[in-house]
Amino acid sequence: MTAVEVTHYPMRIGGQDVDTTMWREIIDPADESVVATVAMGTAAHIDEAVAAAKATFDAGVWSGKPPAERAAIMHRIAAAANDAIESLVELEMEANGATVRQATGFHVGYALSHFTYFADLAESYAWQRPAARTTFPALAQFTIQREPIGVVGAIAPWNFPLLLTLWKVGPALAAGNSVVVKPDEHTPLSILAFARIAEENGLPPGVLNIVPGEGRDAGARLASHPDVGKIAFTGSTEVGREIMRLASGSVKKITLELGGKGPSVVLDDADLDMAVDGVLYGCFVYSGQVCESGTRAIVPRSLYDEFVERLVERAKTIVVGPTRDWDTDMGPVIDAEQRDRILEYVAGAEAEGATIALGGKAVTGAGFEKGFWVEPTILTGVRNDMRIAQEEVFGPVLSIVAYDGDDEAVAIANDSPYGLAASVWSTDNERALAIADRIRAGSVWINDAHQINCQVPFGGYKQSGLGRELGPDALDEYTETKTVHLDLSGGRERKPYDILLSHAGD
C-alpha cells in the first residue's frame, strides 16, 4: 500500500478542514504499514486555531450556554461516538499498536464513558455558591462563582490518544471553554474523528480545534500562545518541564500528567497467586507503555526466588502477537526508536549487574518480520539505585528489587523522582493501608493495579505531575474563581468611607 491510496486527514480549525503541503504518514506499529496521512500543522496553524477558539469564546456560542445545555450536547456527542465505536477503535489501534481487547475497553470504552462523566459534571458542578454574609464593615453577601478560563490548549501523548485527550477536552468543554488540541504526531486520527462527530452533534464550529503537528513547533506555540489561558499536558517529564517554561511567559494555568516508575510492593503475607498475576498485569499491559505501570516489583528477600520463579513461569504464557487477534495479550511498542531505547535500557541493566530472567530481546521469527516488538522482560538482582530502577523505560520491562522489612520496602518505593502510582499486595488490609499511607504517590492500589476511575482524581506527586485530572473536582482545573460582593447596607450612611473621606463635610 502506498501513501496515496490511504485516507488523508486534514486539520480541523474553525469547523473547517484545513490542509497544508506538509504531511506525515501514520504507521501501524504492528506491521509498519502506512494507514493514513495527516496534515502537519505549524505554529501558524496554531495561531489560526487559537484565533478561531477565542472568537467562539468571546461570542459566547458555547461559553454562554447554560451548563445543562452544554451537558445535553455533550451527551449527544457521547452517544454518537458510541455508535461509531468500531471505527474509533480501528483508528486508535492502527496508529498506536494497542491490541483489540485493550483498544475496545481501555482506549475507547473508557474515553467515551469518561466524556459522559464530564457531561454529568457540567450539571452537578457548583457553578455558583453563596459564601459569607458579612456585617462588617457593612452588610454584604459574597458569592463564589466558577467561570470558564477562555481558550484551553491540550497537548496529548500517543499511548492513549483518545482517552487522555478527552480527559482534557471533556472538562474543558463542560466548563464552557473553547479548545485547541495538539495530538501526538503518531496518533491524531481518533481525536480528529471525534471532533467531527462533536460538530455533527451540536458543538459549534471552532469550539474544538485539532492541529496535528510537531511538538517543538505546533506544541511549543500552543504552550506559549498569549491567548491560551490554560495548558493541559500529558507526556514525558522532560517535555513537561519545557511546557512549564513556555507557559510561564503569559502565566498560564497548567496541569501536567508526566512519567512514572511505579512500585508494586509485595508484602510477605501476600496472596502470591494474586500478586504474581497482579504484578504482571501492572507492568505488561500495553507492552508497559502506560504511565502508571508498576515497573518495579519490590519483593521480600525471603520470598524472592519463589516469587521470581512463579512470575517467570506465568509471564511465559503472555501471548505476543497480531493486535487484531482477540487471543493476543501483548502487541508491539510504538516505533523502532522506542524498541531500540528499551533494549538499550536492558543492556545497561545487565552491565550494571542485573540478570535477565526472561526476555530481553526483540521478538523475531514468523509473523514478526515487520513491526516493533519487544519480549516481556523480567530483570532480577536489580538494586533501586540502578538506572533501570530510576528511569522510565516505557516498555515491557519489569525490575525485581529485594527488601528486608516493611520500612525498607517503603523506603525503596519512595526512592524515586516520580510519584504517580503504586500498588501494595497483602492479605492484611490494615497493614496494607498503613503502607499505602507512607507511599508518596498520587494513587495507591491495594491488591490491584491500573485502577483509574473517572470518579476519583488521578495525577502525580513529585516529578510525575502537577494538578489532577478526573474526579468530582475535575472542572476546578478548567475554571477561574470569581468572588462577587453584593452590598446590602442600604445606603451611604452605613458605609465606613470615613476612613478616607473624613473631611467630606469640612
Residues that bind ligand NAD (CB under 6 A): 155-159, 164, 182, 184-185, 215-216, 219-220, 223, 234-236, 239, 242-243, 257-260, 291, 392, 394, 420, 460, 465
* Cis amide prior to 212 (ω within 30 degrees): no
Pick between residue 71 and residue 470 the one whose CB is nearest to ligand NAD.
470
Amino acid at 275: A
The CB-of-12 to ligand NAD minimum distance in angstroms stands at 16
Residue pair 460/467 in contact by the 8 Å Cβ criterion = no
182 has which bridge partners? 155
Pick between residue 156 and residue 298 the one whose CB is nearest to ligand NAD.
156
Tally of CB atoms within 10 A around 66: 12
Tally of CB atoms within 10 A around 153: 33
Pick between residue 148 and residue 235 the one whose CB is nearest to ligand NAD.
235
Would you state the cell numbers that stand for residue 503, as one nine-digit string? 473631611
The CB-of-24 to ligand NAD minimum distance in angstroms stands at 11
Residues with Cβ within 8 Å of residue 452, at least 6 apart in sequence: 110, 292, 443, 458, 470
DSSP, collapsed to helix, strand or coil, labels residue 194 as helix
Query: What strands lie across the sheet with 151-155, from one edge to the other?
Result: 16-18, 11-13, 208-210, 178-182, 151-155, 230-234, 253-257, 465-466
Identify which of 76, 18, 381, 382 has the alpha carbon closest to the alpha carbon of residue 212.
18
Catalytic residues: 257, 291
Pick between residue 281 and residue 461 the one whose CB is nearest to ligand NAD.
461
Pick between residue 254 and residue 363 the one whose CB is nearest to ligand NAD.
254
The CB-of-289 to ligand NAD minimum distance in angstroms stands at 7
Tally of CB atoms within 10 A around 111: 28
Pick between residue 298 and residue 470 the one whose CB is nearest to ligand NAD.
470
Pick between residue 260 and residue 381 the one whose CB is nearest to ligand NAD.
260
The CB-of-89 to ligand NAD minimum distance in angstroms stands at 19
The CB-of-503 to ligand NAD minimum distance in angstroms stands at 58
Helix or strand holding residue 67 (H, E): helix 67-83
Residue pair 265/423 in contact by the 8 Å Cβ criterion = yes
Helix-helix angle 406-414:429-438, to 10 degrees: 40
Identify which of 471, 481, 488, 490 has the alpha carbon closest to the alpha carbon of residue 129.
481
Alpha-carbon distance 388 to 398, whole Å?
A: 9
The CB-of-329 to ligand NAD minimum distance in angstroms stands at 20
Alpha-carbon distance 83 to 65, whole Å?
A: 26
The CB-of-182 to ligand NAD minimum distance in angstroms stands at 6
How large is the C-alpha radius of gyration of the chain?
25
The CB-of-258 to ligand NAD minimum distance in angstroms stands at 5
Chain-centroid distance, C-alpha 460: 11
The CB-of-467 to ligand NAD minimum distance in angstroms stands at 11
Helix-helix angle 161-174:110-124, to 10 degrees: 10
Identify which of 227, 189, 202 has the alpha carbon closest to the alpha carbon of residue 8.
189
For the stretch 250-268, what's the b/e string if a residue is b when 16 or more beta carbons lie within 10 angstroms of its beta carbon? eebbbbbbbbbbbbbbbbe
Amino acid at 105: G
Identify which of 436, 443, 402, 467 has the alpha carbon closest to the alpha carbon of residue 262.
443
The CB-of-59 to ligand NAD minimum distance in angstroms stands at 28
